[in-house]
Amino acid sequence: MSTIRFHKTMRVTPEQFLAAITDFGPGRSKIFGNSADEALRVHELGPTYADVTEGGGGVWERLSYDWSDPDRIVMTTTDSNVWGGASGHTYTLTRRPDGTTILDAVVVRDGRNLKGRVVGFLLGTVAKPFLGKALDRTIRAVEERTHA
């Protein structure tokens, strides 16, 4: 199992980031590059939660989203072709007086099969910079969407 942590500064408010992350409509792949629009399935959507299947490139996961605390978005993996156990993502948002937001992201990858264990190990070690760049692209996409 790999636990990967990132600390980033964004030029958006927590509300703006939350709005982008919980927009499950067309164009989601612009926010999350690994989430192909054609693979997106919204099973249930409420005011502070969602049950969504998303993925791409041969990897998919069903996630239970919870944003009942608007400064903390928890995405728990409930099913996947590669992830199991404690897999998921937690985004903690801290508003700064200058209008920026600190994002503390924790990604847990617990492989449910050989492919998942290998990919999880790689993400936690040599491939961590690639995951960080993907998060940077997500942040840029949210900033561009917000400031357009």
pTM more than 0.75: yes
Asked if residue 24 lies in contact with residue 106, where contact means CB atoms within 8 angstroms, the answer is no
**Topology of domain 2-147, per CATH?**
Alpha-D-Glucose-1,6-Bisphosphate; Chain A, domain 4 (3.30.530)
- Residues 51-108: tens digit of each pLDDT: 999 998 889 999 999 999 999 999 999 999 999 999 999 999 999 999 999 999 999 9
To 10 degrees, the CA torsion angle through 137, 78, 52, 48? Answer: -90
Query: Would you kindly state where each structural domain of the chain is located, as residue ranges?
Result: 2-147
Mean pLDDT value across residues 103-119: 90
Rounded Cα–Cα distance for residues 109 and 99 (Å): 32
> Among candidates 19, 7, 9, 30, which has minimal Cα distance to 146?
19
